[in-house]
A and B are shown apart, each in its own frame.
Chain A
């Protein structure tokens, strides 16, 4: 069975502090994993993806995620939050081509 759990529905950080958005998955296969960001009233934009190459994946806007198979996790991090990072973030697992399972989303609030 495939599933994605985003452990926090809301995360609030101060500008300039680190961001950690947690994602755990279960998959019967060796999946591809993705993080998408959705700014208010916008579509979903691909931040980064893991496809069984390097376990530490760098994405756009300074975000990165580390695939940890032993922990079945794919947490999203950024060293220093910016006000423009305020958005909703979705973790997605793809156990095979064209099959995608979305997490329920984490809303990131960045305080000045």
Chain B
């Protein structure tokens, strides 16, 4: 089992640029979560999908953030345009109907200059 896969692991970009983070959940899991972690705010849930459908996006900070899950094995989190305050570690996690708990990916460390 490869676990949850995230790419890239590190991203450095300049303010105003578009950033796309990618996630591949564990095979067979049908729920996917995007989190953001910062020193100031800790771990925050941004959005979660169930069966590829966004169920709760109340944590998405603003319209600059968007997330998609076109199929059961892939999700993206896009920030456009990026701002320095978006600098954080973004985690993807997956779970399933017969799974209790979440399994986290290694995260993407985003730095916006």
Contact B91 A44, beta carbon cutoff 8 Å: yes
Whether a CB of chain A sits under 8 angstroms from the CB of B102 is: yes
Whether a CB of chain A sits under 8 angstroms from the CB of B101 is: yes
- Determine chain A's interface SS by DSSP, over half rule: strand
The interface of chain B, by Cβ under 8 A from chain A, is 31, 33, 42-43, 45, 48, 50, 55, 91, 93, 95, 97, 100-107, 109
When chains A and B are docked, how far (Å) is the Cα of A102 from the Cα of B101?
12
When chains A and B are docked, how far (Å) is the Cα of A87 from the Cα of B101?
20
Point out the residue from B42, B50, B107 that lies within 8 Å of A98, measured CB to CB: B50
Q: How far is the CB of B93 from chain A (nearest CB, A)?
A: 8
Whether a CB of chain B sits under 8 angstroms from the CB of A90 is: yes
Contact B42 A104, beta carbon cutoff 8 Å: yes
**Chain A: interface size category:** 10 to 19
When chains A and B are docked, how far (Å) is the Cα of A41 from the Cα of B109?
9
Contact B101 A46, beta carbon cutoff 8 Å: yes
Contact A32 B101, beta carbon cutoff 8 Å: yes
Point out the residue from B50, B102, B105 that lies within 8 Å of A100, measured CB to CB: B102
Q: A43-B105, A104-B42 are in contact. Are A32 and B50 (CB under 8 A)?
A: no
Contact B106 A43, beta carbon cutoff 8 Å: yes
When chains A and B are docked, how far (Å) is the Cα of A97 from the Cα of B97?
8
Q: Which residues of A contact B42 (CB under 8 A)?
A: 102, 104-105
When chains A and B are docked, how far (Å) is the Cα of A97 from the Cα of B48?
12
When chains A and B are docked, how far (Å) is the Cα of A46 from the Cα of B94?
12
Q: A90-B43, A104-B42 are in contact. Are A43 and B95 (CB under 8 A)?
A: no
When chains A and B are docked, how far (Å) is the Cα of A34 from the Cα of B102?
10
Point out the residue from B33, B93, B106 that lies within 8 Å of A42, measured CB to CB: B106
Q: Which of B101, B102, B105 has the most CB of A within 10 A?
A: B101
Question: Chain B residue with minimal CB distance to A50?
Answer: B100
Whether a CB of chain B sits under 8 angstroms from the CB of A51 is: yes
Residues of A27-42 whose CB lies within 8 A of B:
32, 34, 36, 41-42
When chains A and B are docked, how far (Å) is the Cα of A2 from the Cα of B100?
18
Question: Chain B residue with minimal CB distance to A101?
Answer: B45
Point out the residue from B48, B97, B104 that lies within 8 Å of A45, measured CB to CB: B104
